[in-house]
Structure 1
Amino acid sequence: MNSILQQDLNDFENILEKTKQQGIDFLNNLENLPTSNNYSIEPKKELNELGLGSLGALAEFKQRLSPLLVSSPGPRYWGFVTGGSTPASVAGDWLASVYDQNTQSVTSQGGNSALIEFETINLLLQLLELPDSFMGGFVTSATMSNFTSLGVARQWFGKQFGKDFAKNGISETITILTATPHSSSVKSLSMLGIGSQNYTVVKTIEGNREAMDLVDLEEKIKALNGKPFILISSAGTVNTADFDDFKAISKLKEQYNFWWHIDGAFGGFAAVSEKYKHLVEGWEGADSITIDCHKWLNVPYESAFYLVKKEHINLQIETFQNSNAPYLGNPLENFNYLNVVPENSRRLRALPVWFSLMAYGKEGFCDIIEKSTLLALHFGNALIEQEHFELLAPIRLNNVCFTLKGNENQDKVNDFLIKLNDTGKVFMTPTFYQNKKGIRASFVNWRTTENDIKMVIEEMKKIILDIQI
């Protein structure tokens, strides 16, 4: 064994202790760390010949690389619908690395850590009050969850014509109907060979809505004359957290032949709250659902899961089966995640979620969700009280979409946001909504408080003076 590697092995406990302290120092100082910075480095051009050892690498990381990192898990990082890691999820994530399992099979001589994933999916179904008619698994992100679900939908569509798209390629034009798809769904259509522009846009409801107009949807369905299609609907649109009418879509599904996919990356967690669960009423009728855990579940990146009805398991295996590995056996008799998801190599991604669900239970996550929505309303009200801001849409859940008041100030919106983000006190993202430049703040982080909102409003007032609105 290499001498430095041997030395690290002998000093493993000390290395982990020092690494733990580095992490604790970061987490304990989150509120004071910037949400963005301009720090930069000159990338190394030569690899060290002998190596520094783990402690040497840790020292260099702390001195040279850690200043690049921002407080994205912190209370005032309101961009990209990003949660922050809870203590339990950090513990689970650390142990996922320590145990370093390749999570594949439920009955394998190589280990059956997939049983942990099975249990975690079952707990999530209980959290979201969804029936056990769904099966699921963990992937890296909402993008890969949408990709997995729509991959099975693509196979379903081919079967309606007696064709196997997974084996022989797409040989029919796939019809997609959707109103306001997230970019990850569009990206999935591109990766699946369907085409990022090959979908039909359903009109949205009039009156500051992003949800699909059901009259227009049914007209487009009738125009297909009984041909199959795939419907992509939203449980929480990215700008305004709007929801499609799932009860009405469920009734349409009784009349027409289509695959129903719901992108519920963050909005699906409305099901956890008695106040907001009506927003997802009827979603149990979907064929597939996307949920993102590193958003409102507040676990570390990368963590999402897909849900697909069990009745479609054959289609899922046809889509993703690792057919070049005969030693894996019959994929139906010997369940293996290799045969139902895109990745062959899979870490135990379920463990941070399992720890979180065990630690905080349904009441804990209900508290996070309801607190987040209250904070969004609080921020919205604080904006309205200021003469220089206006809301672009009603606050339906946890996203606040707003802009500078007055059309004459539209050309100042980007400059305002850049200056605000450059303070390092808060991070929000630009958007474009109803032909206006806007700003979006998303509340999902378990650490955020009303004091954070007060601090941000004060910073915003300073920027307003600076750009002379």
Structure 2
Amino acid sequence: MSDPLYERDQAAAALEEVARAAGPYLGSLDDRPVHDHKADHLLDLLDHPFPERGEGTMDTVRRLLHVGTGAATHSSGPRFFHFIVGGSTPAAQAGDWTTTLLDQVGGLWLTSPFATRAETVVLGWLKELFGLPSSYGAVLTPSATFANLTGLACARQWWGERHGADVTADGLAGLPRMPVLAGGYLHPSSRKALQILGCGRDAARILAADEVGRVDLAAMDRALGEIDGPAVIVANAGEVNAGDFDPIDAMADLAERHGAWLHVDGAFGLFAALSPRLSHLVRGVERADSVTSDGHKWLNVPYESGFAFVREPELMARSFGAWGAAYLPAGDDPHVNYNMLGPESSRRARALPIWATLRAYGRQGHREMVERHHDLALRLGAVVEEADDLELLAPVRLAVVCFRYRPPGVGEEELDALNAWIGAELLADGRVYAGTTTYRGVTALRPAIFNWRTTESDVDLLVSVIREIIARRPI
């Protein structure tokens, strides 16, 4: 084969091939292991010399489906408890396929009024869902890391302007280091954003009250009082090891008292706002200067999806727009151009799966999902607490359960090695996936329940597999 022009009649047939594979694959997710290591040999089918002449559309699509449905890690299924990962609801998945089908240039109104209007609509819906003021500026991003980059770039621009500088135009040269303060829950994505922004990955001053990382508010108050000029505070709504929260309302008080910028990283924890029984965890988020979250976590839309919200919308344009390129819309364009409000210029229409899932299931459906996952986490936490040889290391706050195997008469060092072994065996087994972490200085398991498909039977299987592994533990 050569020029794809000669296979244009295969375009619909190729999509039909994927659609035919979708039914059996999606129908198998409830029963198949998260990863079947016996299928890893299929990966070799991806690797061959680069073809001089192509193999053709249909042969290539069939090869990709054969390898992917067999050898992929089935993280969109109900038993992937590793990291913090959702799946793709039926509506979101169809919305994502539609995104690929239409292949919109989503950054400018001129190139796609459809994609732009869809993004404007879903950002409004998301602000309503999370209880954020409708006046906030907002933009969709590929991830929480990019969302943090967006919010912290606006904070950097705000900070520079208070020093009489336009850092977007002129950079940071000649300015002092931007003070960034946080508790011990600061996530690597915020550090990465600070790294990219030239502020320094390790620039944040961590003010923790204990080994867990809870913020020391008194120390933060003193530190802010000692800083000559404005500062940035980062609060976390949802800590990844045990699901704990920074006291956002109290940190907003500090920000107001000291004239600081408050950035809230709510990658998954912001979804606590959906539930009356959990919303207290994010009390005060509506007072933040920038707020971020992730769609491919608890919203259960496909990768890649993040959200950034900024109190002063004009800061977004000052941080990311005004390129001065004659072929692009000017800053006074009456239409919104989202590539001038965030870090991306080339953008797919990532609003479509978000629009689809929000419209399909509404506020009530997403609230029920959040509360169902919280109930499942509480169920797992209760199993741990009732067992003589398991130890719950932190209260279940949201949907992460942090615990370890702790049989009597075993020393701490051996316990760490034993729990690391259990974690490795879980991944090798493949039926369920749950990773390990270090929490309060010890090695722990931390299954996270965020997939829309997950039910009690999946959580019970996790416990059962852990019990099987423990039964064959090395003596």
Q: 1:182 aligns with which of 184, 187, 204?
A: 187
The list of structure 1 runs, each at least 4 consecutive aligned residues, that deviate by more than 6 angstroms after superposition, is none
Deviation digits for residues 304-325 of structure 1 (CA, Å, limit 9, x no counterpart): 110011x241x32232125142
Residue 250 of structure 1 deviates from its aligned partner by: 2.6
Query: Given residue 20 of structure 2, which amino acid in structure 1 is its aligned partner?
Result: Q
Alpha-carbon displacement from aligned partner over 1:349-396 (angstroms, at most 9, x marks no partner): 011000000000000000100000000011111122333221111111
Task: Report the alpha carbon displacement of residue 91 of structure 1 after superposing the two structures with TM.
Answer: 0.8
Q: Is the 8 A contact 2:322 2:330 kept in 1?
A: no
Q: Is the 8 A contact 1:105 1:112 kept in 2?
A: no
Matches within 5 A, 1:92-111: 92-106=95-109, 108=110, 111=113
Instruction: Indicate if the aligned counterparts of 1:104 and 1:112 stay in contact, CA closer than 8 A.
Output: no
Alignment-mate amino acid for residue 201 of structure 2: S
The 10-residue stretch of structure 1 (319-328 or 82-91) with the greater mean CA deviation from structure 2? 319-328
- What per-residue deviation string (whole Å, max 9, x for no partner) do you get for residues 409-464 of structure 1? 22211111111221111111211111111111101111111111221211111111
Q: 1:241 maps to which residue?
A: 243
Residue of structure 1 equivalent to 2:154: 152
Retained in 2: the 8 A contact 1:322–1:338?
Answer: no
Deviation at 1:5, TM superposition (A): 4.2
Alignment of 1:192-211 (within 5 A): 192-204=197-209, 210-211=213-214
Partner of 1:440: 446
Aligned match for 1:228, one of 227, 230, 233: 230
SS of the counterpart of 1:138? strand
Which residue in 1 is equivalent to 2:399?
A: 398
Indicate conservation of the 8 Å contact 2:138/2:313, yes or no: no
Which secondary structure state, in structure 1, belongs to the residue aligned with residue 377 of structure 2? helix
Aligned partners of 1:203 and 1:217 also within 8 Å: no
**Which residue pairs with 2:119 in the alignment?**
117
Q: Distance in 1 between matches of 2:256 and 2:222?
A: 16
CA drift of 1:45 comes to: 4.0
Tell me the amino acid that sits aligned with residue 95 of structure 2. Answer: G
Give SS of 1:326's match. Answer: coil
Aligned-partner Cα distance in 2 for 1:111–1:128: 26
- Say which of 172, 177, 197 aligns to 1:173: 177
1:355–1:132 distance in 2 versus 1, CA, 3 Å: same
Shift in CA distance, 332/213, structure 1 to aligned 2, threshold 3 Å: farther
Please tell me whether the aligned partners of residues 180 and 234 of structure 2 are also in contact (alpha carbons under 8 angstroms). yes
Amino acid at match of 2:96: D
Aligned: 1:327 with 2:291? no
Please state if 1:304 is matched with 2:306.
yes
Provide the rounded CA distance (Å) in 2 between the counterparts of 1:338 and 1:73: 29
1:421 pairs with 412, 421, 427, which one? 427
Task: Identify which of 133, 136, 143 aligns with 2:135.
Answer: 133
Measured on the aligned residues, the alpha-carbon RMSD in Å equals 1.9
- Structure 1 counterpart of 2:84: 81
Where do 1:61-80 residues align within 5 Å? 61-80=64-83
| Correspondence for 1:368 | 369
Alignment partner of 1:327: what SS?
Answer: coil
Q: 2:265 aligns with which of 258, 263, 266?
A: 263
Q: CA separation in 2, counterparts of 1:366 and 1:282?
A: 19
Distance in 2 of aligned mates of 1:308 and 1:332: 20
Q: TM-score when scaled to structure 1? A: 0.94
Asked if 1:383 corresponds to 2:384, the answer is yes
Percent of aligned positions that are identical: 34
Distance 1:324 1:466 in 2: 66
SS of residue matched to 1:21: helix
Structure 1: which amino acid aligns with 2:382?
Answer: N
Task: Give 5+ residue unaligned stretches, structure 1.
Answer: none
C-alpha separation in 2, matches of 1:144 and 1:308: 14
Other-structure match for 2:461 = 455
Q: Does the 8 A contact of 1:31 with 1:74 survive in 2?
A: yes
Displacement of 1:209 after TM fit? 5.3
Q: Quick one: distance in 2 between partners of 1:243 and 1:100? A: 38
Residue type matched to 2:92 in 1? S
The letter for the 2-side match of 1:386 is: A
Between the aligned partners of 1:255 and 1:99, the Cα distance in structure 2 is 49
CA change 1:449–1:177 in 2 (3 A) is same
- Residue 29 of structure 2 is matched in structure 1 by 30
Instruction: Give the counterpart letter for 1:467 in structure 2.
Output: R
Unpaired runs of 5+ residues, structure 2, are: none
1:191 deviates by: 1.0
Letter in 2 for 1:185: S
C-alpha displacement at 1:141, in angstroms?
0.5
Residue 243 of structure 2 aligns with an amino acid whose one-letter code is A
Contact 1:268 1:280 in 2 (8 A): yes
